[in-house]
Structure 1
Amino acid sequence: MEEYLGPVRAVCAGLPEAYEEPAWHGVRWRIRRKTFAHLLPIDAGRPPAYARAAGTDGPAVVLTFSSSGPELAALHHVGPPFFAAPWGSAIVAMVLAPDVDHAELAELLTESFCVHAPRTLAERVRAGSQ
């Protein structure tokens, strides 16, 4: 999980008012009280809901994030490495691989932040004036 923590942390740390904290399993990033990203390992079939949804007993690392509109529908149906998270209709999960596209990762995390952030913060991020 460490190889993915750095890139995810770097993107999330650059978003206004975002903060990192330990999650029930893994690490999550929040804006105010809303989680916009969650990074967690799957190992030996645990956590079971994620292992089932991802179709792997691990070892694997999963990133969950939020999306909306047509992008949400596309990500839910595009197939690996994306899948619908075990709960929450607006949550998408992605099994990370060593060749993950860091630009795409940054875009997905930024959009997830904007889904949950107050309007003024989301507009600031979308305008590129952090």
Structure 2
Amino acid sequence: MSDIADVPPAVVGRLRVICGELPEAYEEPAWIGLRWRIRRRTFLHVYTTDGRGSAYIDMDDPAILMTFRAPPGELAALAHAGPPFFRADWGVNVVGMVLDDETDWVEVAELVTDSYRVQAPRRLAFRLKAGG
């Protein structure tokens, strides 16, 4: 079972605020860390690596990683942007980002909202675009 304690409470708190603005989004434990979903589709996953690296990115130290869906027009740019971004090869249109002291939380909010739009049914995505 997941250990949500692996993600620092401050990070979880910020993500909860962002995701709390998205219609019908909900949080649940994942196999590691937490994920946020719309219906049964995951649009955000956050967890902490243990310092032995990750399947997606070479790292020697523990790190907080966030994976999310990118719209087709942004996928290649984000996947090839370099740190803090990386390509997560486990799914279609999945990109990752390292969250650290330099993280731009306004950018994170935009990325998470775009990820939600990719995964949400059109009716809900439209509702979001229309301001709620």
TM-score for the superposition, normalised by structure 1: 0.90
Is 1:126 equivalent to 2:119 in the alignment? no
Structure 1 residue 53: Cα displacement: 2.1
Q: Distance in 2 between matches of 1:58 and 1:4?
A: 18
Q: Distance in 2 between matches of 1:103 and 1:112?
A: 14
Are the aligned partners of 1:29 and 1:37 in contact in 2 as well (CA < 8 Å)? yes
Q: Secondary structure at the match of 2:31?
A: coil
Aligned sequence identity (%): 50
Is 1:11 equivalent to 2:24 in the alignment? no
Q: Name whichever structure is richer in helix by fraction.
A: 1
Q: 2:63 aligns with which of 60, 83, 87?
A: 60
Are the aligned partners of 1:54 and 1:95 in contact in 2 as well (CA < 8 Å)? no
Structure 1 residue 59: Cα displacement: 1.0
Match of 1:37 in 2: 44
Are the aligned partners of 1:77 and 1:83 in contact in 2 as well (CA < 8 Å)? yes
Deviations 1:66-88 (A, max 9, x none): 01222111001000100011311
Q: Which amino acid aligns with 1:56?
A: M
Q: Which amino acid aligns with 1:58?
A: D
Considering only aligned residues, what root-mean-square deviation do their CA atoms show, in Å? 1.2
Structure 1 residue 52: Cα displacement: 4.2
Stretches of structure 2 that go unaligned for 5 or more consecutive residues are: 1-6
Q: Which amino acid aligns with 1:36?
A: F
